[in-house]
A and B are shown apart, each in its own frame.
Chain A
Amino acid sequence: MSEALLSVAHLSAVSTRDGNAPVLRDVSLRVARGEVHGLVGESGAGKSTIAKAILGILPGGIRITQGTIMLGGRDLLTLEAHERRRLLGAEVALIPQDPLTALNPARRIGAQLTDGLRLWRGVSARAAETRALALLNDVQMREPARVMRAYPHELSGGMRQRVLIAAAFALDPKLVIADEPTTALDTTVQKQILRLIRAMQERHGTSVIFVTHNLGVVAQICDRATLLYMGKVMEQGATRELIEAPHHPYTQALMAACPRYDRPGQELEPIPDAVLAACRAEVIAFDRAGASHG
């Protein structure tokens, strides 16, 4: 059995600014090599928190209370700061949500693309530039040479997101975390970007964690997915199973609520209050059990 690339085990976290209210409740998930794993949930479900925990950029008010995050056999949470920086910098990349603010307005695109290469692979400026140009070609950027010399404000939103995707794959990382990368884009561009990410992923054999609230995206490009509600895993497994044969009532309700083009005349059903109540009860029961142990 192939060993998982990334293994999150029993990760729990609280928000110190909200009186230690739990934000993650015993989350476990595994991502295999080359797998595209969807991290799904509504806003506030904790998916971004997990991503940030992996990347080591949790905000000051979030504290991890238990769990491990194993990458390549090493627990990211117990590594020394500079060790973690080195490991993550070279092996894990981020495709951020908002291409508008994720690029430094005062630096040229070329410089921002070659950062990682020069930092972790010790590549010379010229070699890095060549590689960056190749990457821009891969992401189907027109006039890559001009883009290299351009500043972020000269590019459109879609172009900027392509740059960010190129930057993410620049070092051939083992894992790419895509944090709702299409939310800030027009719908027409969204599909292109999704296809691009999938194409890059297939070419490089990278694992991808796809953070999203959009089930359509999950259906389109994720192999497996983890469904979160209030920081707790409701269900996880192969995407096909989740869609066609969901077990958990929350998953079932979500799938039922999802408009489908192959079912014309379908009535849109919101998630029933009963299901939400049941989920909340499940969470509360979990908390109580934890409290009695802790």
Chain B
Amino acid sequence: MLASSLLKRAVMAAVTLFGVAVVVFLLLRVAPGDPIAMMIGPGASAADIANLRARYGLDQPFLTQFVIWLGGILHGDLGISISLHRNVVELLGERLPATLELAFVACVVAVILGGGIAILATWLRGRGEGAIDAANGIMLAVPDFVWALAFVLVLGVFWQAFPLSGRIDPGINPHFATGFYLFESILTGRFGLTRDILAHMVMPALALALPLAAIIIRILKEALSEAMLQDYVLLARVKGMSELRLIAGEALRNAVGPTLALTGVQFTFLIGGTVIVERIFAYPGIGSMAIDAVINRDLPLIQGLVLVFGALFILINLGIDLAVAALNPRLRHG
């Protein structure tokens, strides 16, 4: 039963991704501004421009271009970047691991921070709750963009606690085999590198994590409070369990599912936030490539980026749906 709904969701996801591809394709082609002309510089002859345009296939009718592009995707080919003159798939492949690691760390931070504070607030139950609610209210209002800039100022300039840009100290040449610097450094025991990589991640990951943590706090706290009123918590209390164990052991299990269902979409917002946050911190992921790609009208690269982001969003949503279903014992066993 779970398998059939999973299949249905996968099909819907594919349809949505196709829709994304169509939309971005159309958008870019109705855009004024000629990418070729921008790229080639002044003084180029009309013939040069025409040649270059033909080389990138931009002289063909829309539908042909679309079919060619789709065909290319099925072969794992997304074309050549107009502004960077490299294979789009290679470019994305180089930078995607960095973004994935950043997003992963941010999610972990958000869950730990958000979950921890929600449990704490439930445990305090009225004593410090007002202060936590007020702080949470502010956290909810501030977007990742503003956090990132605030961190630049406070943690990067005033306090100089963390490096302001990049992924790793430019003086180091780490010779990593994969693009997953963080995981590789941990798995190979090179913890000095791990520390450096994490130091570079602190500010961007925190900027991405705080809005998500804020939502988790609000929703989980509510779900926990509701769960704590249930009879099974009362019985567990009679059994002699401590307050903390009641919250984290009995109530939390029932609160996580609904919380995940309501906060799930926020995880995709976190990924979307990498576009500006990576740029602010010059973090070499796919996000920081995006803005320049748009400004330069780099059609193949933009299409590739949108496709990758779209796929990520859809995968995350699928993952969340699966997790919610798995957490509900009633659904798991049918």
Contact = CB atoms under 8 A, between A and B. Distances in A.
Would A and B touch once assembled, by the CB under 8 A criterion? yes
Contacts of A57: 234, 237-238
B171 interface: no
Interface stretch (A70-78, A91-99, A258-266): A91-99
A89 interface: yes
B94 interface: no
A178 to B, nearest CB: 12
A268 interface: no
Interface string A66-109: 00000000000000001001101110111010100111111100
B32 interface: no
Nearest to B328: A106
B4 interface: no
Contacts of A115: 236, 239, 241
Given A102-B231, A106-B329, A116 B254 contact: no
A286 interface: no
A49 B218 CA distance: 34
A240 interface: no
A230 B333 CA distance: 47
A115 B235 CA distance: 11
B254 A106 contact: yes
Contacts of B327: 106
A154 B329 CA distance: 10
B184 interface: no
Given A94-B235, A106-B254, A101 B230 contact: yes
Contacts of B242: 82, 85
B189 interface: no
Contacts of B127: none
A55 interface: yes
Nearest to B242: A85
A151 B237 CA distance: 20
B269 interface: no
B329 A153 contact: yes
Contact of B232 (A85, A86, A88, A101): A101
B254 A94 contact: no
Contact of B329 (A90, A93, A94, A151): A151
Contact of A89 (B231, B240, B250, B329): B240
B85 interface: no
A89 B240 CA distance: 4
Nearest to A154: B333
B253 interface: yes
A153 B250 contact: no
A103 B2 CA distance: 25
Contact of A98 (B231, B238, B253, B329): B231
24 contacts: A57-B234, A82-B242, A85-B240, A85-B242, A89-B240, A93-B239, A94-B235, A96-B235, A101-B231, A102-B231, A102-B235, A103-B232, A103-B235, A104-B236, A104-B250, A104-B253, A104-B254, A105-B232, A105-B330, A107-B253, A119-B241, A120-B240, A151-B333, A153-B330
Interface of A: 55, 57, 82, 85-86, 88-90, 92-94, 96, 98, 101-107, 115-116, 119-120, 151, 153-154, 164
The 6 closest A-B pairs by CB, nearest first: A89-B240, A106-B253, A101-B231, A104-B232, A151-B329, A94-B238
Interface of B: 230-242, 250, 253-254, 257, 327, 329-330, 333
